[in-house]
Amino acid sequence: MKWYRVWAIFTRHFYLYKRSLARWMAIFYWPLIDLFVWGFITIYLRQSESLSAAGKPVSFVMAFLGALILWDILFRSQQGISITFLEEVWSRNLLNLFVAPLRPIEFLTASMLMGLFMVTTATLVSAILAWLFYSFNLLVLGVALLPFILNLVAMGWAIGVVTTAIVLRYGQKAEVLAWGLTFFFQPISAVFYPVEVLPAWLQPVARAVPATHVFQGMRQVLRGGAFPVGELLAATALNGVYLAVAFGFFYWIFGQVRELGLLMKVGE
Amino acid sequence: MVQQITPAAGRSAGPAVAPAVAVEAVELTKRFGETVAVDRVSFHIAAGEVVGLLGPNGAGKTTILQMLLGTLLPTSGQVRILGLDLTRHRETILHQVNFSSTYVSMPASLTVRENLMVFARLYGLKNPRERVESVMNLFEIADLRSASGRGLSSGQLTRVCLAKAFLNEPKVLFLDEPTASLDPDIADKTRRLLRETRDKNGTTILYTSHNMQEMEELCDRIIFLHKGRIIAMDTPKAVLATYGQASLEELFLLIARRGTAVP
């Protein structure tokens, strides 16, 4: 083994880090996200132990499996858009598309439908497997299930449109966002624990995220509570704002891309 | 020194009537910060003309092509295609225009036919299946219809991209080094096809290539760019006469190496 050749390959990859904030973020991003999510889950479990000791047991299996399946809906919805776009970047096809009479809104709508297709397929499979292996029936969420899903799909679309815009502007060095941006919301979306587990200062931030209201509503239904009208209305209103901002951001970036002639370069 | 614009009569069976202007660039300028990539470039291309855009790397060819396609916004100036302003009528124009480049590809995971069907739908063609079959036959790729992009040679992929460019029977065709990865046989067939298309349908073609012999053979007129400006615009013969060179290859080397555009 020749160390100068090992060094050559090492430097080949290290050069990438000299100019890429995204790559540095990728190093720290996942450990931090995991730390926060599992940290808050630990706090929740400790609090639940106290509740169980006080004779108020909490069903973790139901809450965790339901949360996992619903979280995946959000993630798949975002992935549908981001991966659809990245496919065009990887295959150097983007310019072919945009020299055709294709409007950005048409491209985005097709991508959103792809997201919906991925969500439907993945959720169906997950729900059946959860029922077969863990006796968890997603339909236990009742009539709230459909608005829950629609709200998570809408938030996934908003994140997907934003990541698409960023990759369009900054190229493949920003590709890591397509895989990770949704998870940025995981610790503050109260997916696996109630929003009350979060520090007081973080709770208003969490309540500004549409998914938080879906997961709060899910726990309410699983506890046998009433149809979570308030949470669903809040989620829907927030999603309206998120989608409007995401589309506005995309069009602003698309203008910059045409100004800088990046459509031809984005695959490089 | 910029040569006078001489509207070409077409090399063989060119337009019989006074040619309408298919592509018009007026004082087109593009700045990237302090760098002026294209500097007040004006030209027009008559309907049915084949015009070659040539110049050394960085001369501004691709920048001009991008501005003509509307994927790059000019800093100033105007583009009119088929009599319409590109800024205001981009969608209408793009239905009648197409583009192919060596530097643009197609999804390798789709088959040749699937790729072409996607674009046939994108252009809203009435009989997409028939049209796809027709362009596959035209470019001799019908036997590759079920092959995925991964299995294609670069020459075959170039032919698929060219087939895509012919799908909507464009009135204006922008081709960026379309024969760069083709073997001499297919390159010659492609050039012949381009001439036939022009003669038969009156298609206007703007063509970039580093193959100077190809430019001389194919183009009614050439636009020679140097550092973002037009330094010559006329028939290949007239440009060569002005510079006292025997071939475009020699002229290209002269300009690229001398770094000046003075005849």
> Which residue in chain A has the smallest CA separation from B102?
A92
pLDDT at B17 over 60: no
- For a pLDDT cut of 90, what percent of chain A falls above it? 47
Selecting from A93, A98, A103 the residue whose C-beta is nearest the C-beta of B107 gives A93
- How far is B49 from B60, CA to CA, in rounded Å? 21
Q: Are strands B76-81 and B229-234 parallel, antiparallel or unpaired?
A: unpaired
Tokens coding A28 = 């720290």
For A187-231, the pLDDT digits (tens) are 999 999 999 999 999 999 999 999 999 999 998 888 887 889 999
CA torsion A254-A255-A257-A263 (nearest 10°) is 70
- For a pLDDT cut of 70, what percent of chain A falls above it? 95
- How far is B198 from B78, CA to CA, in rounded Å? 26
Could you give all domains of chain B from N- to C-terminal order, each with its CATH number? 1-9+19-96+170-263 (3.40.50.300), 105-168 (no CATH)
**B75 phi/psi in degrees, rounded to 5:** -70, -40
Q: Indicate the pLDDT class of residue B4, thresholds 50, 70 and 90.
A: very low
> Which residue in chain B has the smallest CA separation from A255?
B73
pLDDT of residue B1: 43
Tokens coding B135 = 């362009």
**B9 phi/psi in degrees, rounded to 5:** -90, 0
For B120-136, the pLDDT digits (tens) are 999 999 999 999 999 99
Selecting from B30, B99, B149 the residue whose C-beta is nearest the C-beta of A99 gives B99
Q: How far is B144 from chain A (nearest CA, A)?
A: 19
Task: Supply the pTM of this predicted model.
Answer: 0.85
- How far is A80 from A133, CA to CA, in rounded Å? 27
| Domain locations along chain A | 20-264
For B104-121, the pLDDT digits (tens) are 888 888 999 999 999 999
Selecting from A96, A103, A261 the residue whose C-beta is nearest the C-beta of B72 gives A261
Cβ-based neighbours of B175, under 8 Å, separated by 6 or more = B99, B100, B101, B162, B165, B194, B205, B206, B207, B208
- CA-nearest of B58, B168, B161, B163 to B122 is B168
pLDDT higher for A99 or B255? A99
ipTM above 0.95, yes or no: no
pLDDT higher for A258 or B149? A258
Tokens coding B9 = 């009569």
8 Å CB contact of A258 and B73: yes
Average pLDDT on B88-105 reads: 91
Cβ-based neighbours of A195, under 8 Å, separated by 6 or more = A203, A206, A207, A212, A216
Contacts of A92 in chain B (CB under 8 A): 103-105
Tokens coding B117 = 């069907």
Does residue B100 contact residue B162 with C-beta atoms inside 8 Å? yes
- How far is B157 from B116, CA to CA, in rounded Å? 12
pLDDT of residue B183: 84
8 Å CB contact of B105 and A91: yes
- For residue B66, CA distances in Å to A102, B72, B104 come to 16, 5, 13
Q: Indicate the pLDDT class of residue B43, thresholds 50, 70 and 90.
A: very high
Q: State the amino acid at position B248 in one-letter form.
A: L
pLDDT at B49 over 80: yes
Q: Indicate the pLDDT class of residue A267, thresholds 50, 70 and 90.
A: low
